[in-house]
Amino acid sequence: MSENAHSRTSTLAKLVATIVVAGALLAGLLFPWLGGPGLVARNSASLLDALPVELTDQTPAGNTRILAADGSLITNLYENNRTPVTPDQISPIMKQALVDIEDSRFYDHNGLDVQGTMRALVKNVAAGEVREGGSTLTQQLVKQTLLQTATTPEDRQAATDQNVGRKLREARLALALEETYAKDEILTRYLNLVYFGQGAYGIQAAAQKYFSVNAVDLTLPQAAMLAGLVQSPFNDEPIANPENAQVRRNQVLQRMFDLGHITEQELTGISAQPVAVAPGGNPPNGCIDAAVGGFFCAYAVQYLTSTLGLSENEIKNGGLTIQTTLQPDLQRHGDQAVLNSVPMGDGLAGMFTALQPGTGHVLAMSVNRRYGCSDPECESVVLNDVASKGAGSTYKTFTAAAALEAGIGAGTTISTPGDRYTSRVFRGPACGAADRNGTNERGMYCVENVGDYPDTLDMVGALVRSSNTYFLALEDRLGSVEGPVRMAERMGMTFDQPTQNSGDELVEGNFGSFTLGSEATSPLDLANAYATLGAQGTRCEPLPVVGVLDRAGQPVTGADGQPLPIGNNCTPEAVPPAVANTLNQILVGDIATPAGTGTRAAIPGHEIAGKTGTAQRNESVAFVGYMPEYAASVMVFNPKAQQKVPGFGGNIPATIWREAMAPFLADKPTSPFQPADQGLLNGGRPAPRSPAPRSAPAPDPAPTADEPVDPDEGGGDGDEGRGNDGENGGNDGGDNDDD
């Protein structure tokens, strides 16, 4: 068949379909309507019951918004850029232009314009081709809604099939809609739904896209241009096809003049002018466009899907409002602090991760990367939540907590002469072995300190100075690694990522290097574990989202009809308060005393506790600092390769922490920690509840660093002892650690 013959056949088929549809509509719908509106009214409920919810709601869903804790916009999430508006937010001339060109009898018919259908039929038959459609705006609203809400290929096909059945269904639903909604509501919903080209769905998005104005401010020439787009948004849009847009706009103006809605002067004056556009940008879409906190945004979206069970379709097409915990000011301070020390796109990644003790609210996630793009300085993995490298001596706190709970008091002294200690419990490499897999003749794990340490230390001095030998010996006294591992889990460490040994594997392997922080560590977990101490032993699950509202502003419900389970998930006394309070007072010394390894994190006017850490061969450095109100970790490492980080945990990480937190805390008071338990501090059991001195005794000053300490910057990192890698079950063992 020739192309011309095929075209004639196609046109004839369309004309025949038009005749059939017109007859069917007249026979199947017009008679019962004329016979009495009560029949249609009685059938309306059943017709509406069959519709998707979007057709029975008053407005289509717009873009999902992700909001920071202060209500500011982080970004939007959407497939179709749409911002629904109310009837009074649309220019009257826009409504008139659309009605005139699409359905001039809109205010006279009841959803089905038989007169218009017959007129179109006569005109099309006379012309020998389809020149005019017979669908009303209400029918078009039905069709567009069914098409845009279709979730399967079959539903999409059903919404566009050129057959009598689809036309009949659209007509019946149009009649039912007219029985339910006022004309202005139907027109507004149509204008909010229809596609205008250039990715703009709905009149507000179109007004912004083409003219950078709101829909209520559209002028006659602008309205005429937009009204002409609904039939051919690709061919007639003015940015790519200005000549076509002018022709189509003028057709709309002519129709408005013919109907007496504009003057001849308006017609001639506008028609002679080209279409004038002032293109606006699309609203931000996705975490890649986040105004602040792109990595936090990605973490929050992951929480919506993995924890709350929302689908991607619900998130992008539901017009939801996501209320998050992000503190924009802290996020920006964190961003700048990280970049001050680790430039954007450097091989080393710096992560600042903050949350709130007692609630688990995630406050900031900073990385010296841009989220989601493809440039070398970009990253699509939320490094703040991924366990990549070890966190060094920050793990000594878990051992100290386990010891205190086991009745080994903070005043317990241990002698490790010669800055070297060989375990009596844990197997591993010998100090000074020829290679990292060698063992001494006893096959027992050995670690060293670098620098001069007192032969004898108590737990207070050992934790503040970060002595490797003391904490391996303390693990020996506990008899296995189970206590420190389980304490870490109770404080908030998860050990459930592919890069990690599980808690059970760590216990079964009895990895003595655990206390030196060799295990790959999530910066978020690390901050959360210390937040548990700041909250006097109350552990909370990290929480980035505190509310999910539907487009009507109501809480979103799950499959059971109940609101999504959003809220703080906390476990009181996951760590005994006496243990937490005692550790808090000890760890204040890491920041506030000359022997401490984290003195660079000090902020005048605020009592801060913290701990530094440096992993084996300086491949990762860390600092975690906290108060009763805030906790934050900093980790610096190369997530994709082995690279030595300059300095230790008390250098770059502690500096980043201070530079992020100091401006944030400038106008915010913070509380002192509760007093240490005197029984745990001096002996081995909690003392009866009674007033006690607020601070733990400071350790005696002693040389602490294996690098020169800059007297202008405060204490450097402490022991950074040369603990060798353990080989228990393939576990990468002791850290060079720390500080």
Give me 638's structure tokens. 């190369």
**Tell me, what CATH number does 726's domain have?**
3.40.710.10
Q: 393 and 256, same structural domain?
A: no
Q: How far are the Cα atoms of 37, 345, 512, 599 from residue 287, in angstroms, in the given order?
A: 51, 18, 41, 36
**Tell me, what CATH number does 95's domain have?**
1.10.3810.10
Residue 320 lies in a domain: no
Residue with tokens 């539907």: 550
Closest by CA to 489, choosing from 502, 498, 499, is 502
Using CA atoms, how far apart are residues 621 and 736, in angstroms rounded to an integer?
A: 10
Using CA atoms, how far apart are residues 515 and 457, in angstroms rounded to an integer?
A: 17
Residue 500 lies in a domain: yes
Predicted local distance difference test score (pLDDT) of residue 183: 96
Closest by CA to 708, choosing from 655, 621, 648, 645, is 648
Give me 518's structure tokens. 């060799």
pLDDT along the chain (739 residues), means of 10: 49 46 47 39 45 59 96 97 96 98 94 70 53 76 83 79 79 86 94 95 97 98 97 94 96 97 96 95 96 98 96 94 98 98 95 98 98 87 97 98 96 90 88 51 79 90 95 96 98 96 96 95 98 98 97 90 92 98 97 95 98 94 98 97 95 98 97 96 62 36 30 33 32 42
Closest by CA to 193, choosing from 134, 252, 142, 152, is 142
Q: How far are the Cα atoms of 101, 205, 499, 683 from residue 239, in angstroms, in the given order?
A: 21, 15, 50, 79
Predicted local distance difference test score (pLDDT) of residue 705: 31
Give the range of the structural domain holding residue 106, as residue numbers without chain letter.
3-35+78-271
Predicted local distance difference test score (pLDDT) of residue 310: 95
Predicted local distance difference test score (pLDDT) of residue 172: 84
Q: Name residue 621's beta-bridge partners.
A: 614, 636
Predicted local distance difference test score (pLDDT) of residue 730: 30
Predicted local distance difference test score (pLDDT) of residue 116: 63
Residue 139 lies in a domain: yes
Alpha-carbon torsion, ordered 417, 421, 425, 429, to 10 deg: -160
Contact criterion met (CB below 8 Å) for 598 and 625: yes
Residue 384 lies in a domain: no
Domain end call among 251, 271, 291: 271
Residue 590 lies in a domain: yes
Give me 373's structure tokens. 């793009």
Where are the extended beta strands (E) located within 405-468?
413-415, 420-427, 444-448, 456-458
Strands of the sheet containing 321-324, edge to edge, are 73-77, 64-67, 321-324, 545-549
Taking only Cα atoms into account, the Rg of the chain, rounded to an integer number of angstroms, comes to 35
Residue 450 lies in a domain: yes
Domain end call among 213, 246, 271: 271
Predicted local distance difference test score (pLDDT) of residue 430: 75
How many structural domains are present in the chain?
Answer: 2
Cα 131 to chain centroid distance, Å, stands at: 49
Residue 494 lies in a domain: yes
What does residue 234 show for φ and ψ, rounded to 5 degrees?
Answer: -90, -40
Residue 360 lies in a domain: no
Q: How far are the Cα atoms of 26, 308, 310 from residue 283, in angstroms, in the given order?
A: 45, 26, 23
Q: 411 and 267, same structural domain?
A: no
Domain end call among 271, 305, 320: 271
Contact criterion met (CB below 8 Å) for 686 and 578: yes
